[in-house]
A and B are shown apart, each in its own frame.
Chain A
Amino acid sequence: MTTLVLSSLIAPDALDRLIVPLSGALELGLLYGLVAIGVYVSFRVLNFPDLTVDGSFPLGAAVAATLIVKGVNPIAATVVAMLAGAIAGLCTAWLNVQLKILNLLASILTMIALYSINLRIMGQPNVPLLGQTTVMTLLEGGLKQLPSVLSPFGTSLVLLAIVVLVKLGGDRFFRSELGLAMRATGENSDMARAQGIATHHIVLLGMALSNGLVALAGALFAQVNGFADVTLGVGTIVFGLAAVIIGETVVSGTTIFWATLGAIVGSILYRIAVTMALNTDFLGLETQDLNLVTAILVALALVLPQYKRIKWRFR
């Protein structure tokens, strides 16, 4: 088996076959790593099952693509896209804390609304960005300086820098007083309120943060892949969840540092697993089966913690 792997690595053609798709998996993994951190904030920290992300991901893509086509600086467009996502998150949180709509339902309402809003923003269902100046083409000159071994990973390096910044910023935030208040709110909102934490404001802030990150991922997705499409959000929440859960499986640690790292690693591993499904007949799996495999993986991971808790009780 080992010799087979080695021989496939030696042929230059096979090397391409391995590296280019892997660089693609890394790109998408890092992109969706931002989604995973966002989902981590809503699901794990705030304990808020948030389907808004299925709408805020294409929202980020729509806003960024539309502004870029209109000639706005791509960096400014990306920032505006992130703010738009934050507003979407605020809407969901407001529906929940102010109007007392069940959290899951509140997020579904925003998600549905965003479909129409995204169409309005783009004016059409698909905005192509091929040939436009994007964050990536801005950095193209710099990326050409890379040694040839690293050249397929140029985009990944840019995304890595962004993801690392977001991760470290997030870690810092969650160690601050405000961040700790957010974690307390998610853990036990009654207790948090008793400690004088304005839990409503915390939920608003957390959801804005979460969806802002998801929209940032959407904006970058559009710029890396050359288009924004109204259907872009399909299954974002499931991918985000899968990433968070795979991350927790692989990276075990109790601090925020490890948790956010896990989300990113989980996202990359998920994409590598997809590449694998695209490349092998391993277990007879094909691309068509991917949604099923993801669903089973997420369902398993939703159930496993329960099993763990019960085990502790009987220890």
Chain B
Amino acid sequence: MMKPLGLIQPQSDRPVRWPLFLGRSTIAATTLTGLFTYGCGQTATTPGQAKAPAIAVTQIVEHPSLNAVRDGLKAELIQAGYQPDQTLKWQWESAQGNPSLAAQIAKKFAGDNPNVVVAISTPSAQAVAAAAPKLPLVFSTVTDPLGAKLVSNLQKPGGLITGVSDLTPVDKHLQLITQITPKVKRIGVLYNAGESNSVSLVKLLKAAAANQKLEVVEATVANTSEVANAAKSLIGRTDAIYIPTDNTAVSALESVIQVGVQNKLPVYAGDNDSVERGAIASLGFDYYDVGRQTGKLVVRVLRGEKPGEIAVETPTKLNLTINAKSAQQMGVTVPEKVLSQAAKVIK
């Protein structure tokens, strides 16, 4: 006997008349029909494509940066002469932020047996490495491939895995900060302790700061609504705020910029988009370029190189972006020498 869940309140004594097609058996029938069509769907894609190399892309969530990686990857493959749906079998799945779905996508790829799997983000790459250990894997935007146990050596990964890490050059960022604002001794870093990438970055930031005799003050948040408060908590404890490539902090960047402008506290960022939104400066890379760099590795694998013999790469193309307007609002004068090196200056 079925018992109501108690989540729905009976609305009135008047009987609700539901359309007949909403029966329980309908759900069962739909599932079964689906299962049946599943078998048919298989054949529709197989004929005529036996020779074309297949590439399967898995991505943890749809997000502008990650989508840019995917688009860059596709563009690079097209430039190398692989035309999706003609000379290349291209397949893409998003796990919608759900790691269990990422695992299931990985298992599906294991069955499809493509020539190369591209995994965008750490959990997606880990899921593929566990579910499809026999497939060549090129990962992208994995900040710490060693820490994620994807490879044991960055120069010679061995096995079937290589890729592009999206590690931002935090040491260069610190140099940039002290170049623009030499008086800065304490740097506040605002990030979400629940994001792997950020935790790795802050660890590196601390090590780099120790080398440059700088002090790091941490402010962690769990979601975007806490960012404004965390930024305020840094007032008086720091000489500048640095926002790494942290999804939560970057999502609520404007609230940090506001704190910076009101308190003449310079705000720096790890990515160039944040500079467009109001941070003073960054030495960042474009996720589209990371995608293209990933694509170059994929092409090498498709042409017969063993992934394990290709060194893991970090973004090669770095652009200095400066927001002169924000600098002025935060009471900072950017030295001419730095300005002249900028790829883009926002006025």
Contacts and interface: CB of A to CB of B under 8 A. Distances in A.
B252 interface: no
B148 interface: yes
B335 interface: no
Contacts of B147: 124, 128
Interface string A1-43: 1001101110101101111110111011000100000000001
B46 to A, nearest CB: 6
B96 A20 contact: no
Interface stretch (A168-176, A195-203, A220-228): A220-228
Contacts of A18: 39, 42, 111
A246 B3 CA distance: 14
Interface in B178-229: 193-196, 199, 222
Nearest to A272: B35
A44 B148 CA distance: 39
Contact of A227 (B5, B39, B104, B123): B123
A16 B110 CA distance: 9
A291 interface: yes
Given A249-B24, A282-B41, A305-B4, A24 B15 contact: no
Interface stretch (A81-89, A205-213, A307-315): A307-315
A124 B143 CA distance: 14
B6 interface: yes
B346 to A, nearest CB: 33
Interface stretch (A94-102, A142-150, A231-239): A231-239
Interface residues of B, number: 67
A234 B18 CA distance: 32
Given A131-B149, A305-B2, A126 B37 contact: no
B126 A226 contact: yes
A311 B16 CA distance: 9
B24 A304 contact: yes
Contacts of A191: none
A232 B95 CA distance: 12
A274 interface: yes
Interface string A288-300: 1011000001001
Contacts of A275: 38, 104, 108
Given A20-B107, A125-B196, A130-B130, A14 B43 contact: yes
A43 B5 contact: yes
Interface string B1-24: 111111110100001101000111
B6 A24 contact: no
Interface stretch (B26-34, B273-281, B282-290, B300-308): B26-34
A273 B34 contact: yes
Interface in B118-157: 122-123, 126-127, 129-131, 147-150
A187 B4 CA distance: 11
Contact of B95 (A9, A16, A131, A287): A287
B110 A307 contact: no
B98 A124 contact: no
A44 B3 contact: yes
A250 interface: yes
Q: Which of B7, B104, B123, B127 has the most CB of A within 10 A?
A: B104
B98 A24 contact: no
Contacts of B99: 225, 227, 229, 231-232, 234
24 contacts: A1-B40, A8-B42, A14-B46, A17-B42, A23-B107, A24-B104, A28-B100, A28-B104, A32-B100, A116-B222, A119-B194, A124-B199, A128-B126, A225-B99, A225-B127, A225-B130, A225-B131, A227-B99, A227-B127, A229-B196, A250-B28, A288-B96, A291-B96, A309-B4
Q: Would you list the 6 A-B pairs with minimal beta carbon distance, nearest first?
A: A24-B107, A20-B111, A226-B130, A280-B41, A128-B149, A5-B39
Given A24-B110, A287-B101, 6 more contacts: A21-B111, A226-B127, A232-B99, A254-B1, A287-B95, A302-B8
Interface of B: 1-8, 10, 15-16, 18, 22-25, 27-28, 31, 34-43, 46, 62, 93-101, 103-108, 110-113, 122-123, 126-127, 129-131, 147-150, 193-196, 199, 222
